[in-house]
Structure 1
Amino acid sequence: MVAQAEGAPGGTATTDGSRLRVGDHEIDIARRVVSRPGNGGTVRLTLKSLQVLLALVEAEGRVVSREQLLAKVWPNTLPTDDVLTQAVAQLRRAFEDSREAPRYIETIAKGGYRLLATHGRVGPEPERGTPAAAVQETAASAAPAHEVVAVPVPQAPRRASRAPAFALALVALVPIAAGLFLWQARNPVPVAAAAAPTGAPPAVQYQAIASTPMRERAPALSPDGALVVFSRQAQPDGPHALYLQPPADASARQLTFPGAGAGDQLPAWSPDGQRIAFVRTGAGGCRIMLVAATGGSEREAGRCEDGHFAAFDWTPDGRALVMGGRSGGTDQSAPLRRLDLASGRWDVLRYEGAGIDTLPRYSPDGQWLGFRRGTSLGDLWLMPAAGGTPRQLTRLHGDIRGWDWLPDGSGLVFSLIKEEARLYRLTLADGTITGLPPLGKGNPIHPSIADRAWAMTFEIDRFHSGLYAFDLDGPGDAGGHGEPVFASSGVDMMPAISPDGATLAFVSDRSLAAQLWIGEIAQPQTLRAVPGIVPVPRHPPVWSADGRRLLVLGATGKGGDRLFEVDVGLDTVRVLPVPGVPAFAAYPPEPGQLLVGVDGGGGRMRLVRYQLPEWRELASVDDVAVARYDHDGDRVCFTRPARAGLWCADPSLGKVVELSRTTPVPDQYREWAIAGGRIFSTGPAPGCATAWAEIGGKADGTARCLSRLHTVVAGSTSVDAAGRRVYLSLPLEQNVDVGWASLQPLRGTGAAGASD
């Protein structure tokens, strides 16, 4: 028997353990049926809703966080934020409960959920684990492992040029779940449960269709899937132009001719497939250009706003382009922007709660606009095409490298980089995320899917990098690599040199899997991999001032990243229980404290100073991309995600001073280092791919060339505390090809079936 919660309806369990009483309602666990009191009838729950209920029952009135529920009910997956919201909403409907005046399930702001009603069983408890696990087994014969909901949502007329006719009937029956969420929030409608296919995701086979020694980038598939356009160098080390070819290993024809000193990139097809928009940089500045798909003269549609450009999409009517938010704002946001093709004028897209928003994509029916929000901790969001309040689709908190809609609007495919780059499918009807088959050799990024054909193209990034040391007291580089360190044939990146300059930690796949490696530079035989951690290649490890410990961001295998601390020498690893999702960290000089960048909600990050071991928040700064501690200057310095420049704060994070307004730019927010109280950037300079220049000092702007030909791998710069030697990860081989895949195996697998 469970004591009745204050103010909750009474009731006790009255069955043999396969039935549960919650308040005045009785639940048949095996059948997933809720019987309402009196003659109120019955309601059938989805499997996931029932598992959420049993997890709340198991907590015995304690608050269960959203993260705990997602991990328990959706283990080993990448669940979206809304699957839990919808599961709780179905429970409230079944119990005839109210969110505003709850008698059964209470929502705890920024906390989770708590079961208020008295609950209990009669008879022996199940012997197969927790209630949530038990119901998984009990209900296995009664329902498939995943369930979806279908709601009749009014649909706007579809654009004939954007989707096949059969999709009209499909969408009328099974609207995408994002539309379901947005509509249902305003217009409650009946919900019918339906079954989705089970088993392994359908097999998708990949092939390379453009694999020359040149780098082919940003492929885009025409609406009918008949042509691929991509950017490629016309000759080695030359500018990029656009090329067209069929989706097969065939010769490509040059489409644009940028001229001397210019280059073309980021092509995008118009909804009717007649035109291609692209970005031209170099001679003449930065411009948005248009060219007919059949070739011919190119015309300027508008200038890049403040020289900024990013990935973009055509509006459904073909009259404008929508681009990712530009940098330079002062309100800590970068909203999507619209270029009117008739006037060449830019305007901010009007919608509520803009964040750092990029990668816009309109749904095939033109009703919805999706985008990525955030940088290091990115997620996918959705809003009506006409504007409104965006709704979060995923809870990935990760590095999303491109995404696109499936042709029928039932889901999408995105590229996510964790310990490896991989393509995933998000089924919008039930919020499930499943991995597509691994590519094998190379990283699949920037997928592009045809509007009217089940086919996809993407970049295949094949990469090999090594670690090199440069003496800053010596002469500048004349085009060489510097001195190799711990050479291998894999991908070595994210170096971090110890404060005394003796030991190097870095991330490498030299063992055919991503691992943290540590070794003394003067004694190569000491190099070893640290067991018990799978590093996330986002930021390099961070040394403590005494060189005894390392902070490393790593993957847990449960869909989320965690902060690990490594005891160097013993090579022991422990997980630090950071509140929220960590993105980076640093050691301040005070013992028992830690600086951590955590998810601040809405795609933004906060820099928080914690008191350990209770993880009490001492101070914080909003809108931080990455922060590092300057032990010589006793200050915390950081970049911002949507604004160029560098800022430093006092140790208490109270007073913030702008050190630079121009360097680094947002795309290079990680490319800076601190040595001897001075801050340096590693970025391109005229005639130099990787230069070393001081930020905000006497030598501000004076660049020293480290590598004339090779650009440092993102986030892979480290300098010793004395500022005498810098370590870089430089690409030895990098070839970017175009891949293609038929998505027919995914066709029809994301739709809901008949109601049960």
Structure 2
Amino acid sequence: MNLHVSLQRATDSLLTQSNLRLRIGEHVVDVGALRIVTRPESPRLTSKAMAVLIELVRQVGATVTREQLLDSVWAGRVTTPDVLTQAIKELRRAFADDGKPSRYIETIPKVGYRLIAPALVLDGPGTGLLVDGGEAVLEPPETTQAAPAVAPEAPPPSRGVDRKAVVVAALVLLALAAFGGYYASRNRADVAATTRWRTSDLHALTSDPGAEYRPHLSPDATRVAFGVFNQPESTERLMMRSLEPSQRIVLTQGSDSVEAFPIWSPDGHRIAFSRIGSDHCEMFVVAGLGGAEQHVRKCQDPGANYFDWTPDGRGLVSSERADGGKGDFQLFRFDLDSGEQRPISYERTAGAQDLDARYSPDGRQLAFRRGLSPYSDLFVMPADGGRPRQVTHVSARIRGYTWTADNRTLVYSADHSGMQSLYAVDVEDGHDEPLGIAPAAYPDAARSGDAVVYEILRTRERLKTLSLRQEGTPMQLLAPSTGNDYGAVLSPDGRQLAFASDRSGQRQAWLYDFESKTATQLTDASSKPILSVGWSPGADRILAVQRNGATRQLVEIELASRRQRVLSRPDDNIVFGAYAPDAQSHLMAVRVSDQDTRLYRVRHAGTAQESRELLLPSVVAAQVDPASRSLYYTSGVEPGLHRRSLDGDADERITPDTVELPRKGWRVAGGHVWYLADLGVRSGNLREFDPATGSDRLAAKLDLLLESVDFDVTPSGDALIFAPVDAEDTDVGFFRLTRTP
């Protein structure tokens, strides 16, 4: 990359341009819109907070006194120092800069503040300028090739070259290296140093109150169909509008159900969609401008009913479980004229779960997702079947993907970096890179051109408790924040909650104390998000499953010292972990393949004396009950909940056939089994099963949206602790995607 160095300062006029966009640390700031683009769920900044940010950017890395900020931002006005304090708090919330030490704005006690994150001008008249508070700035590179790790040795400067310029150039190179190192260490959804794809024209297509979901572009990229959530009626209707500002058209006749997954036919004349109710799931086809509906068929599983049109527009490709709904998910073609369904002939092993098939625009290739969430990857094979090739290696929660018009790129949404973000992968050589768009899900590209739409995730999952004994009691919010919370687990003494949360900007482990009502961050490895947590019997340590690249490791955290150690091996891919009742050994569920997760009892974990004993093959979920020294588990090959003694080989199934226990979404508390049943899009039931009496009762009806089936119940059975979605303002986003030359 050729670096052109200018002595031009990043001037006041540059930093006050209305179309200015800055990259500050991990985030993109649209100055004119008062927005943190990479955190669309956060509210707009006030103009004063943005003005404070600009003043800090002007002197990035240097301390700006409180007096300077008050004079420049509130010039000529009578104020108190509190207005500046509030502006700084607002900026820290916007950047999710909750941790200690700060990663963005540092407080210099009794003096002022300092912007410690790098700042770069992205858009505007100074595009590409690296703001460093001094005289040197970086101008746009001529190519997108990465700079060499070591700069080539330059010839001695001629007498006509200003030595100051040479020194400044060297400083810029050092600043650039530091800036690049900063981003490489973050492992976030940021644009890579060497990019194969370029995004542009990023903006929201919808901004109305309420939530718009799962957009799909017409083949000619002139119209977009999407679902709109009706809050009062708790239904979802399909709408269509032009990409240009226009009125919405209602596509369907309406019902008391949720209408989802609108998919345009290859010729753009029809739209297939699902209609999902509490007790049914059906598929329909409607004209591209709305009108009469054609009933197509019933769908087997509303939670996995992803589909696409066949290239000739005469059928659909989808996934269903074989053997009457009890087998593995595999791919089928359904003929719209005859109503006949046939399996696609392709190589697959027993236990493989294949979903969400998508034909390439030219109809020659078929992509699909293998593995149930959150352990999925994308595969590609010839359209008529054959041998699939794995093209991603992320083993993550993939929420939608799409072919682009070049027939060799897949754009997909995954959470392996911690936040649900968009990535692009070349199906021919496997090159995979982030697009820098997050939080984002369900991308869809036009069959021609460079247009892509996606779902701008603006939901919030927050910890709450629900009384199970006093019906009608409102839910209570725990540990409030502007972030999302996941997988709360009660400590054995009931005094604390361990959970994962992205309230600091990345998904890390947190601890909530019921007495003090305070939340404390336990981990701060931003490139290694925390997926789940669990307690030791003595409540003095926590086990956490931590993502490390494309795999997961098991980490133990000592609460008193905050000391951490990795218990798993480098080649392990941990699904979950737990302490044995004596707390001297550990249980580790290791993902061996897409079809096999094995549960081991590990002694002396993380040491040279480590030994492993295989307890169970093909385990899905497990929980240790220290009181009875038993292991409860669900299996990938046997239905129901099983109990196994950890002191012997006694193994029994404790739920009868009448109890439709899910393989995930259950918990043992107080000797009873609590589980989620009848899950709909925005509804579900919590049930309580007593193994001693066989009683199976409805404990609570949940009329809300659950993104996760993780929960806990107090030992007395008085309260449910979970993280439902309590805010929905999802919008439809748009961008253009092109390959770099």
Q: Is residue 278–residue 678 contact of structure 2 (8 Å, CA) maintained in 1?
A: no
- 1:568 pairs, out of 528, 541, 559, with 559
Where does residue 229 of structure 1 map in the other structure? 225
CA distance in 1, matches of 2:335, 2:615: 40
Where does residue 446 of structure 1 map in the other structure? 442
Q: Is residue 533–residue 555 contact of structure 1 (8 Å, CA) maintained in 2?
A: no
Matching of residue 740 in structure 1 with residue 741 in structure 2: no
CA distance in 2, matches of 1:467, 1:609: 32
The structural deviation recorded for 1:647 is 4.2
What is the SS of the residue equivalent to 1:477?
coil
Where does residue 673 of structure 1 map in the other structure? 667
CA distance in 1, matches of 2:471, 2:681: 13
**Which letter does structure 1 place at the counterpart of 2:431?**
T
Unaligned runs of 5+ in 1: 1-135, 142-195, 750-756
**Which letter does structure 2 place at the counterpart of 1:382?**
V
Where does residue 241 of structure 1 map in the other structure? 237
The structural deviation recorded for 1:553 is 1.6
1:234-273 equivalences in 2 (<5 Å): 234=230, 236-259=232-255, 261-273=256-268
Matching of residue 608 in structure 1 with residue 600 in structure 2: yes
The structural deviation recorded for 1:534 is 4.7
- 2:355 pairs, out of 337, 354, 358, with 358
Where does residue 367 of structure 1 map in the other structure? 364
What is the SS of the residue equivalent to 2:580?
coil
CA distance in 1, matches of 2:432, 2:357: 20
Q: Is residue 515–residue 530 contact of structure 1 (8 Å, CA) maintained in 2?
A: yes
The structural deviation recorded for 1:424 is 0.7
Where does residue 492 of structure 2 map in the other structure? 499
TM-score (norm 2): 0.67
Where does residue 55 of structure 2 map in the other structure? none
1:342-741 equivalences in 2 (<5 Å): 342-354=337-349, 355-375=352-372, 376-418=374-416, 419-439=418-438, 443-472=439-468, 474-478=469-473, 480-481=474-475, 483-525=476-518, 527-534=519-526, 540-556=532-548, 558-578=549-569, 579-602=571-594, 604-613=596-605, 615-639=610-634, 645-651=640-646, 655=651, 657=653, 659=655, 669-683=663-677, 689=683, 691-695=685-689, 697=691, 698=693, 700-705=695-700, 709-741=703-735
Matching of residue 210 in structure 1 with residue 201 in structure 2: no
Query: Cα distance 1:635–1:363, how it changes in 2: closer, same or farther (>3 A)?
Result: farther
The structural deviation recorded for 1:691 is 4.0
The structural deviation recorded for 1:552 is 0.9
Q: Is residue 457–residue 740 contact of structure 1 (8 Å, CA) maintained in 2?
A: yes
Question: Residues 351-376 of structure 1: CA distance to partner in whole angstroms, max 9, x if unpaired?
Answer: 22251111211122222211111122
Q: Is residue 209–residue 738 contact of structure 1 (8 Å, CA) maintained in 2?
A: yes
What is the SS of the residue equivalent to 1:563?
strand
The structural deviation recorded for 1:533 is 3.8
**Which letter does structure 2 place at the counterpart of 1:299?**
Q
Where does residue 183 of structure 2 map in the other structure? none
Q: Is residue 405–residue 412 contact of structure 1 (8 Å, CA) maintained in 2?
A: yes
Comparing 450-459 and 203-212, the one that deviates more: 203-212
Q: Is residue 619–residue 653 contact of structure 1 (8 Å, CA) maintained in 2?
A: no
Q: Is residue 648–residue 659 contact of structure 1 (8 Å, CA) maintained in 2?
A: no
Where does residue 110 of structure 1 map in the other structure? none
Query: Cα distance 1:359–1:254, how it changes in 2: closer, same or farther (>3 A)?
Result: same
**Which letter does structure 2 place at the counterpart of 1:360?**
A
Where does residue 154 of structure 1 map in the other structure? none
Where does residue 176 of structure 1 map in the other structure? none
Q: Is residue 219–residue 267 contact of structure 2 (8 Å, CA) maintained in 1?
A: yes
Matching of residue 302 in structure 1 with residue 297 in structure 2: yes
What is the SS of the residue equivalent to 2:464?
strand
**Which letter does structure 1 place at the counterpart of 2:402?**
D
Identity, % of aligned positions: 29
Query: Cα distance 1:412–1:720, how it changes in 2: closer, same or farther (>3 A)?
Result: same
Q: Is residue 529–residue 547 contact of structure 2 (8 Å, CA) maintained in 1?
A: no
Q: Is residue 530–residue 544 contact of structure 2 (8 Å, CA) maintained in 1?
A: no
The structural deviation recorded for 1:244 is 0.7
Question: Residues 282-336 of structure 1: CA distance to partner in whole angstroms, max 9, x if unpaired?
Answer: 3994221111213221111122237775111112222221113338778863212
Alignment: residue pair count: 546
Query: Cα distance 1:331–1:437, how it changes in 2: closer, same or farther (>3 A)?
Result: same
1:84-95 equivalences in 2 (<5 Å): none
The structural deviation recorded for 1:720 is 3.4
What is the SS of the residue equivalent to 1:625?
strand
Q: Is residue 468–residue 484 contact of structure 1 (8 Å, CA) maintained in 2?
A: yes
What is the SS of the residue equivalent to 1:336?
strand
CA distance in 1, matches of 2:682, 2:306: 26
CA distance in 1, matches of 2:523, 2:562: 8
Q: Is residue 660–residue 696 contact of structure 1 (8 Å, CA) maintained in 2?
A: no
CA distance in 2, matches of 1:453, 1:265: 25
Question: Residues 37-80 of structure 1: CA distance to partner in whole angstroms, max 9, x if unpaired?
Answer: xxxxxxxxxxxxxxxxxxxxxxxxxxxxxxxxxxxxxxxxxxxx
Query: Cα distance 1:306–1:521, how it changes in 2: closer, same or farther (>3 A)?
Result: closer
CA distance in 2, matches of 1:625, 1:494: 16
The structural deviation recorded for 1:434 is 1.0
CA distance in 2, matches of 1:642, 1:288: 30
Unaligned runs of 5+ in 2: 1-147, 154-191
The structural deviation recorded for 1:741 is 1.1
**Which letter does structure 2 place at the counterpart of 1:445?**
A
What is the SS of the residue equivalent to 2:704?
coil
Q: Is residue 338–residue 349 contact of structure 1 (8 Å, CA) maintained in 2?
A: yes
Question: Residues 631-672 of structure 1: CA distance to partner in whole angstroms, max 9, x if unpaired?
Answer: 345443334579975444454788463735576676xx5422
Question: Residues 191-242 of structure 1: CA distance to partner in whole angstroms, max 9, x if unpaired?
Answer: xxxxx99458524442211232232212111111111111223563342221
Q: Is residue 476–residue 704 contact of structure 1 (8 Å, CA) maintained in 2?
A: no
Q: Is residue 649–residue 656 contact of structure 1 (8 Å, CA) maintained in 2?
A: yes
Question: Residues 72-107 of structure 1: CA distance to partner in whole angstroms, max 9, x if unpaired?
Answer: xxxxxxxxxxxxxxxxxxxxxxxxxxxxxxxxxxxx
Query: Cα distance 1:433–1:501, how it changes in 2: closer, same or farther (>3 A)?
Result: same
Q: Is residue 210–residue 728 contact of structure 2 (8 Å, CA) maintained in 1?
A: no
Question: Residues 413-470 of structure 1: CA distance to partner in whole angstroms, max 9, x if unpaired?
Answer: 111113111101112343221111233xxx2001111111211111112122332234
CA distance in 2, matches of 1:244, 1:432: 34
**Which letter does structure 1 place at the counterpart of 2:263?**
A
The structural deviation recorded for 1:342 is 1.8
Q: Is residue 515–residue 535 contact of structure 1 (8 Å, CA) maintained in 2?
A: no
Query: Cα distance 1:702–1:316, how it changes in 2: closer, same or farther (>3 A)?
Result: same
Q: Is residue 664–residue 672 contact of structure 1 (8 Å, CA) maintained in 2?
A: no
Query: Cα distance 1:660–1:552, how it changes in 2: closer, same or farther (>3 A)?
Result: farther
- 1:290 pairs, out of 265, 273, 285, with 285
Query: Cα distance 1:720–1:505, how it changes in 2: closer, same or farther (>3 A)?
Result: same
CA distance in 2, matches of 1:323, 1:139: 52
What is the SS of the residue equivalent to 1:540?
strand
CA distance in 1, matches of 2:369, 2:640: 23
